[in-house]
Chain A
């Protein structure tokens, strides 16, 4: 069943790639897909979305949601930029790495609070993380003094904009993290428990799993990948902004559901989410590259979300029939 769904999202990705390739050739006589620049640009955009949605995938599989990721991203971005600004960029990589550690730590705190709210206090994750969304946003704005924290660090810049073997660093980072999350969810007991938690919490509890601890870990993982998204942001733009993740929160959530996750939990894969993020990035880039009027972006984003929901529904029907 799972492989069939992944096949659907693959097919969808291939279809839109094909559409843009043909359209671009007809319209501009240029190739869309077979250019390093295009692939790099799309991959970087997809990676920024992906870093928010990787940990989220695990949370959703467990039957929860994490809306605070948008501002875990912003908080980590601001903290990283501030540490670099305070210590000064002269110390090179040392200060950048220190700053990244601090940024990540701030995100982990958000994750811990989320986990505590959901696991310990039984606050519904939608409400709880909506609360921490606001708190993390406020804290990030306070820490940043309301402004964007700009930095001048060649090291941070190369972290966000550099390439290794032609692959942009943010893409490399997102892929490594995706592989790690995929491994965690597919090949470990932790992953098995995560799926089981989304399908039937009681059975997992009966099996003797410490559900509370498990939930806290899930939210911390979600905060970590989002936080890394913030570090990438600060590197890419040489500035930390409190609202770094906000405009792509919708895309990040959409990527998870396009990728085959279900609102009710127990379903979803990391590879699906990766494809979901790429589908969104390809559409964004492709519409502009094709020279279509910018207002098509609204239509496209809306369509993608509806398609995601339809896929979700039809899957539920199918699984209902098959089981």
Chain B
């Protein structure tokens, strides 16, 4: 009871001493803007490379970009980080939302605090902002790879390698992630539309667990001995599926297409675990993310979507100088 009283007293003291809510003073003439980049997770080569691009832009503009995120790609963990970032009162927030619907509410708080939000890589709601529709219409811009296109490119690379016929499936993380959902969508659309002799089996979800992705491949193989291709919709899905393929001694018969190109992809392509990788350009996303935020802060109008490119990396070009810059850094 005594403790309860103490806690009540403390709470009262805290509330009594509270000053006003954070309102960030916006100074029109100010040039040393502070922008925070909140990645999907902090330990991924993709986001680290994005941060590199963001820092390059920050240096060019003479502003500061902070990098703050959670240890896992999850809205429950990203939200407290975002709350604390908002409390710091940056001039703008660049964020890779970890869920298209669930991050709408937490990001609304940034919007209500008057902080412009730019989504990078992933997006909220339908990814189309400032068009007057949807709950998550408030971000100023979405900068990302066109993941549907990336999925289509993966399908083309796979179909070419397979000679245009056979059974394939998609190894994906889990439903609800805008980027990986779109890759799957693009992959399926391209296969159905352009390659009618390729059959796309049910998607296998691996929760970003490579070992699960590997055993899933072996299960799919057991059921479909003639399986001829796997599209790994993200790094772990691809590496896992690729290891499953190698473990089953099927590297010759099964085409593995990966999405994303961290440094390890080079080894995986050279060793044949992965046949080709669709590399995004995360540094480009970070660079244009910062540029967009800066444009908004200095009163310029900005495009509501900016699409960045892809590069297909395979055994033939993996050693090229010109290709090397698209491999993510760590």
Given contacts A34-B18, A182-B4, A297-B71, contact A237 B102 (CB under 8 A): yes
Given contacts A289-B88, A294-B68, contact A39 B174 (CB under 8 A): no
Given contacts A34-B17, A148-B176, contact A237 B205 (CB under 8 A): no
Binary interface encoding of chain B residues 195-230 relative to chain A, with 1 for a CB under 8 A from any of its CBs, else 0: 000000000010000000000000000000000000
11 A-B Cβ contacts within 8 A?
A3-B3, A34-B19, A35-B19, A37-B87, A41-B84, A146-B174, A148-B99, A148-B176, A244-B76, A271-B4, A271-B7
The contact of A146 among B15, B84, B205, by CB within 8 Å, is: B205
Q: How far is the CA of A33 from the CA of B99 in the complex (A)?
A: 29
- The reply to whether A281 and B80 form a contact with Cβ atoms under 8 Å apart is yes
CB of B151 within 8 Å of the partner chain: no
- The reply to whether A239 and B84 form a contact with Cβ atoms under 8 Å apart is no
- The reply to whether B42 and A294 form a contact with Cβ atoms under 8 Å apart is yes
CB of A166 within 8 Å of the partner chain: yes
CB of B101 within 8 Å of the partner chain: yes
CB of B14 within 8 Å of the partner chain: yes
The 3 A-B residue pairs with the shortest CB-CB distance, nearest first, are A288-B84, A41-B83, A150-B101
CB of A106 within 8 Å of the partner chain: no
- Total contacts A-B at CB 8 Å: 134
Q: Enumerate chain A residues within 8 angstroms of B66, measured Cβ to Cβ.
A: 291
Shortest Cβ distance from A84 into chain B, in angstroms? 13
- The reply to whether B72 and A247 form a contact with Cβ atoms under 8 Å apart is yes
CB of B74 within 8 Å of the partner chain: yes
- The reply to whether B105 and A238 form a contact with Cβ atoms under 8 Å apart is yes
- The reply to whether B102 and A241 form a contact with Cβ atoms under 8 Å apart is yes
CB of B299 within 8 Å of the partner chain: no
- The reply to whether A241 and B176 form a contact with Cβ atoms under 8 Å apart is yes
Q: Enumerate chain A residues within 8 angstroms of B104, measured Cβ to Cβ.
A: 237-238
Q: Enumerate chain B residues within 8 angstroms of A307, measured Cβ to Cβ.
A: none
- The reply to whether B105 and A288 form a contact with Cβ atoms under 8 Å apart is no
Interface residues on A, range: 35 or more
Q: How far is the CA of A133 from the CA of B19 in the complex (A)?
A: 43
Q: Enumerate chain B residues within 8 angstroms of A146, measured Cβ to Cβ.
A: 174-175, 205
Q: Enumerate chain B residues within 8 angstroms of A28, measured Cβ to Cβ.
A: 88
CB nearest neighbor in A for B76: A247
CB of A48 within 8 Å of the partner chain: yes
Shortest Cβ distance from B70 into chain A, in angstroms? 7
CB of A212 within 8 Å of the partner chain: no
CB of B300 within 8 Å of the partner chain: no
Interface centre among A157, A248, A291 (most CB of B within 10 A): A291
Known: A41-B87, A146-B205, A166-B15. 15 other contacts (CB 8 A): A3-B2, A35-B21, A37-B21, A37-B87, A45-B79, A146-B175, A182-B4, A237-B104, A238-B135, A274-B7, A288-B88, A293-B67, A294-B67, A294-B70, A295-B42
Q: How far is the CA of A48 from the CA of B80 in the complex (A)?
A: 11
- The reply to whether A291 and B88 form a contact with Cβ atoms under 8 Å apart is yes
CB of B296 within 8 Å of the partner chain: no
Q: Enumerate chain B residues within 8 angstroms of A166, measured Cβ to Cβ.
A: 15
Shortest Cβ distance from A49 into chain B, in angstroms? 10
Q: Enumerate chain A residues within 8 angstroms of B42, measured Cβ to Cβ.
A: 294-295
Binary interface encoding of chain B residues 81-107 relative to chain A, with 1 for a CB under 8 A from any of its CBs, else 0: 101111111000000000101111110
Q: Enumerate chain A residues within 8 angstroms of B175, measured Cβ to Cβ.
A: 146-148
- The reply to whether A33 and B88 form a contact with Cβ atoms under 8 Å apart is no
Shortest Cβ distance from B136 into chain A, in angstroms? 10
CB of A26 within 8 Å of the partner chain: no
CB of A36 within 8 Å of the partner chain: yes
CB of B22 within 8 Å of the partner chain: yes
CB nearest neighbor in A for B103: A237
- The reply to whether A36 and B3 form a contact with Cβ atoms under 8 Å apart is no
Q: Enumerate chain A residues within 8 angstroms of B43, measured Cβ to Cβ.
A: 295
- The reply to whether A35 and B105 form a contact with Cβ atoms under 8 Å apart is no
CB of B291 within 8 Å of the partner chain: no
Q: How far is the CA of A245 from the CA of B76 in the complex (A)?
A: 8
CB of B77 within 8 Å of the partner chain: yes
Shortest Cβ distance from B244 into chain A, in angstroms? 21
Q: How far is the CA of A284 from the CA of B20 in the complex (A)?
A: 22
The contact of B20 among A36, A182, A289, by CB within 8 Å, is: A36
Interface centre among B4, B69, B102 (most CB of A within 10 A): B102
CB of B139 within 8 Å of the partner chain: no
Q: How far is the CA of A247 from the CA of B79 in the complex (A)?
A: 12
Shortest Cβ distance from A39 into chain B, in angstroms? 6
The contact of B84 among A39, A147, A179, A285, by CB within 8 Å, is: A285
CB of A152 within 8 Å of the partner chain: yes
Q: How far is the CA of A247 from the CA of B73 in the complex (A)?
A: 10
The contact of A38 among B15, B68, B71, B87, by CB within 8 Å, is: B87
CB of B75 within 8 Å of the partner chain: yes
Interface centre among B76, B89, B101, B174 (most CB of A within 10 A): B76
Interface centre among B21, B75, B106 (most CB of A within 10 A): B75
